[in-house]
DNA sequence: TATTGTTATACTCTATAACTATA
DNA sequence: TATAGTTATAGAGTATAACAATA
């Protein structure tokens, strides 16, 4: 492979990765919109199988803690989550309300139904894709 | 596969896709920064092997035309590109300057050198990944 | 009338810095 | 002193709407 080929392959893979991720984002946003919530709020809500400290939410989503504050506000305003206090009184636990838990479950179903990758590839291919992406992500995290 | 499994697989693939794309974006941004240009400007510059109408740039990058105006301004201010007029006098052709062409080539090399995916996977795996992503993207574009 | 490009504006996502309360 | 969360603010990336020039 000449260096020009390597450059073109890198460019091609980067573009494909970007497009595939954009499609997944669009699928996600469309599903979230059907429940009247913004994508970031949907991402947080999907984490709330159990009450979770704000700090942990930030770590899980790889975002800054200050950002989670605003998203949690939205979820509270929408009546989908509430903040409680932990034994360590600095910690706030965000939990899904009854209605939030309901939306969370229906949202999860809607997303997997809409998710293009699940329809375009068969079982073996999806597994292969997952394996390759894992390698990429792990190597990127060093 | 139960529906719960399907949901979890979709979630897992979406997360992986997002993480892999984020890594590629970071690689790209880091390389662009070394040349003192913002990622969107770098994306446009990489297109300018030949003079290209603003309209076509927008179509290629899947962004709005109004957005390209601002990016082209940045490239002009940096002395990396210039606007010319086509035979159709509505059309403006953006072309790389001499210095722009130089940066474009070195940027392409830097990106492929930095691109994590090229190091984490071997030839066959990269080809496989490209194939799978193409299927995804095509099916998403309907 | 349709198309190219531009301007002004606004929105979404996200981070940084400074701060409060608690440990 | 260190950690959890919040506030205020700012910046990047991108779109929408209205518009001028040209076709």
| Interchain proximity B109–A3, CB inside 8 Å | yes
- pLDDT tens, B12-57? 888 889 889 988 999 999 999 999 999 999 999 999 999 999 999 9
Structural domains of chain A, ranges and CATH numbers in brackets: 3-140 (1.10.10.10)
Please state whether strand D lies within 7 Å of residue A54 at its CB atom.
yes
Length of chain B equals: 142
Give the C-alpha distances (Å, rounded to integers) separating B36 from A124, B33, B57, B107, B129: 43, 5, 21, 11, 31
B20 contacts in A (CB within 8 Å)? 17, 21, 133, 136-137, 140
pLDDT of amino acid A142: 63
Please state whether strand C lies within 7 Å of residue A142 at its CB atom.
no
**pTM score of the predicted model:** 0.92
The three-state (H, E, C) secondary structure of chain B, written as one string:
CCHHHHHHHHHHHHHHHHHHHHHHHHHHHHHHHHCCCCHHHHHHHCCCCCCEEHHHHHHHHCCCHHHHHHHHHHHHHCCCEEEEECCCCCCEEEEECHHHHHHHHHHHHHHHHHCHHHHHCCHHHHHHHHHHHHHHHHHHHC
At residue A57 the predicted structure's pLDDT band, cuts being 50, 70 and 90, is: very high
Please state whether strand D lies within 7 Å of residue B86 at its CB atom.
no
């Amino acid at each position: 492979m000449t260096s020009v080929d390597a450059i073109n392959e890198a460019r091609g893979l980067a573009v494909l990765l970007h497009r595939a991720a954009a499609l997944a984002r669009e699928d996600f946003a469309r599903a979230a919109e059907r429940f009247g919530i913004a994508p970031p709020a949907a991402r947080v809500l999907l984490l709330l199988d159990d009450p979770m400290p704000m700090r942990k939410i930030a770590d899980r989503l790889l975002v800054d803690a200050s950002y989670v504050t605003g998203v949690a506000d939205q979820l509270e305003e929408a009546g989908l989550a509430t903040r409680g206090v932990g034994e360590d009184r600095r910690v706030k636990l965000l939990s899904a309300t009854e209605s939030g838990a309901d939306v969370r479950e229906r949202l999860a179903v809607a997303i997997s139904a809409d998710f293009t990758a699940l329809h375009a590839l068969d079982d073996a291919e999806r597994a292969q894709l997952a394996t390759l992406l894992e390698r990429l992500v792990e190597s990127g995290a060093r």
